[in-house]
């Protein structure tokens, strides 16, 4: 396939990750269509984006006029039909394979034949998601890291049938968004999560094995191993439910014991202790 010039980007799902991707797109000058399931959720996402852009204005890294122009580039919708004018659509919905398959199948009937479809999945197979469309060569992975506006990496994932043109176009978009993109092939966990998830799980198991406090474990890994953030702080930031889900997905694919989430954080997830998002995880946070 010949990839189109990317002028308009669609983002499906405007939660924490999707709204961050949409923010990146409008700041980079792309006309951006953001879709949520209700007008209220869409407006909430716009307010969140406007808030973070205002913080940049307050810090002197973004001009007032630049902020206004960026927000003008964002249009909201509840209808997938509005993605018909997009050159690239990035999916950022719930990490559920069935939901993603249904979405991609519907998107194929809406977007132009040359439009690129990307998934932001962190743990599912891009190749399996691509199987939902008859033109699998147009599907790639664009795995951003949370929070998307701040984390510099994006993994550009080539699925089994992804075309070189689609991968190159996604890589170019990643660069324009101000990221440091890397190319990789579709494998469980891609690059970062394949390495990081079992490592973090090892750290969390040490909590009970060494009877060390979360504070001391974080200090050990920052002061002793040079980590920029301790594992307990990191999992609280990512979301304990998100980490458990990613661990379970990798364990299901690889059956490596280190991939399985430690019982302690499974119990925390079941108790609603999800980290920053719930106000309490390994640490307690102000609402």
**Cα angle vertex 144, ends 277, 268, to 5°?**
30
Q: How far apart are CA 177 and CA 171, in angstroms?
A: 10
Residue 3: predicted pLDDT: 78
Mean pLDDT, range 30-37, rounded to an integer: 98
Indicate whether 104 and 200 sit together in one domain: no
Q: What percent of the chain has pLDDT over 90?
A: 96
Q: How far apart are CA 44 and CA 52, in angstroms?
A: 13
Q: Are 117 and 139 in contact (CB under 8 A)?
A: yes
Q: Is residue 203 part of a domain?
A: yes
Q: Is residue 287 part of a domain?
A: no
> Of 108, 160, 114, 135, which is closest to residue 3 (Cα–Cα)?
114
**Cα angle vertex 153, ends 70, 18, to 5°?**
45
Indicate whether 172 and 204 sit together in one domain: no
Mean pLDDT, range 8-34, rounded to an integer: 97
Beta bridge partners of 240: none
Sign of CA dihedral 153, 158, 164, 167: negative
Residue 151: predicted pLDDT: 94
Residue 208 has pLDDT above 90, yes or no: yes
Q: Is residue 122 annotated as part of the catalytic site, yes or no? A: yes
Residue 100: predicted pLDDT: 98
Indicate whether 96 and 125 sit together in one domain: yes
Q: Is residue 27 annotated as part of the catalytic site, yes or no? A: no
Q: How far apart are CA 167 and CA 163, in angstroms?
A: 6
Indicate whether 217 and 159 sit together in one domain: no
Q: Are 143 and 137 in contact (CB under 8 A)?
A: no
* Confidence bin at 240 (pLDDT 50/70/90): very high
* Confidence bin at 284 (pLDDT 50/70/90): very high
Mean pLDDT, range 240-264, rounded to an integer: 95
Residue 123 has pLDDT above 90, yes or no: no
Indicate whether 36 and 116 sit together in one domain: yes
Active-site annotation holder among 143, 163, 243, 245: 143
- Give the residue numbers spanning the domain of 209: 193-277
Residue 127 has pLDDT above 80, yes or no: yes
Indicate whether 133 and 208 sit together in one domain: no
Q: Is residue 209 part of a domain?
A: yes
Residue 287: predicted pLDDT: 64
Indicate whether 50 and 155 sit together in one domain: yes
Q: Is residue 1 part of a domain?
A: no
The total number of residues written for the chain in this structure: 287
H or E segment to which residue 235 belongs:
helix 231-238
The single residue listed with the structure tokens 């014991």 is: 257
Q: What is the pLDDT of residues 145-197, one digit of tens each?
A: 988 999 999 999 999 999 999 999 999 999 999 999 999 999 999 999 999 99
Give the Å distances, CA to CA, from 93 to 35, 43, 89, 217, 277.
10, 17, 12, 33, 17
Helix axis angle, 240-254 to 263-270, nearest 10°: 130
CATH number of the domain bearing residue 61: 3.40.50.720
- Helix, strand or coil, per DSSP, at residue 51: helix
Q: What is the pLDDT of residues 223-238, one digit of tens each?
A: 999 999 999 999 999 9
Last residue of a domain, one of 130, 151, 185: 185
* Confidence bin at 216 (pLDDT 50/70/90): very high
Q: What is the pLDDT of residues 72-111, one digit of tens each?
A: 999 999 999 999 999 999 999 999 999 999 999 999 999 9
Q: What is the pLDDT of residues 246-257, one digit of tens each?
A: 999 999 999 999
Q: Are 92 and 11 in contact (CB under 8 A)?
A: yes
Indicate whether 179 and 205 sit together in one domain: no
Active-site annotation holder among 120, 163, 193, 201: 193
What value does the mean pLDDT of the chain take?
96
Q: Is residue 72 part of a domain?
A: yes
Q: Is residue 193 annotated as part of the catalytic site, yes or no? A: yes
Indicate whether 197 and 267 sit together in one domain: yes
Q: How far is CA 148 from the centre of its chain?
A: 7
Q: Is residue 284 part of a domain?
A: no
Residue 62: predicted pLDDT: 96
- Helix, strand or coil, per DSSP, at residue 262: coil
Indicate whether 273 and 204 sit together in one domain: yes
Residue 248: predicted pLDDT: 95
CATH number of the domain bearing residue 272: 1.10.1040.10
Provide the strand spans (E) within the chain. Answer: 8-12, 31-35, 74-77, 88-91, 116-119, 139-144, 153-158, 180-185
Active-site annotation holder among 120, 155, 163, 247: 155
């Amino acid at each position: 396939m010949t990839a189109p010039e990317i002028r308009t980007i669609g983002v499906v799902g405007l939660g924490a990750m999707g709204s961050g991707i949409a923010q990146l797109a409008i700041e980079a000058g792309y006309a951006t269509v953001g879709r949520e399931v209700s007008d209220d959720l869409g407006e909430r996402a716009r307010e969140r984006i406007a808030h973070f852009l205002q913080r940049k204005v307050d810090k002197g890294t973004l001009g007032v006029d630049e902020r206004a122009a960026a927000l003008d580039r964002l249009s909201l919708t509840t209808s997938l039909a509005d993605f018909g004018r997009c050159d690239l659509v990035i999916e950022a919905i719930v990490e559920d394979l069935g939901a993603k398959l249904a979405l991609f199948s519907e998107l194929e009937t809406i977007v132009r034949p040359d439009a690129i479809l990307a998934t932001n999945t962190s743990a599912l197979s891009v190749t399996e998601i691509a199987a939902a469309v008859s033109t699998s060569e147009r599907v790639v992975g664009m795995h951003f890291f949370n929070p998307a506006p701040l984390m510099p990496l994006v993994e550009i994932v080539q699925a089994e049938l992804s075309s070189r043109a689609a991968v190159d176009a996604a890589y170019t978009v990643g660069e324009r968004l101000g990221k440091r993109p890397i190319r990789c092939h579709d494998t469980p966990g891609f690059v970062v999560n394949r390495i990081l998830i079992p490592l973090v799980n090892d750290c969390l198991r040490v909590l009970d094995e060494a009877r060390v406090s979360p504070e001391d474990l974080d200090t050990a890994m920052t002061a002793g191993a040079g980590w920029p953030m301790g594992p307990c702080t990191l999992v609280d930031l990512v979301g304990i439910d998100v980490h458990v889900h990613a661990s379970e997905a990798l364990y299901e694919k690889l059956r490596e014991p280190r991939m399985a989430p430690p019982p302690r954080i499974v119990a925390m997830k079941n108790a609603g202790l999800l980290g920053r998002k719930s106000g309490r995880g390994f640490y307690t946070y102000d609402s």
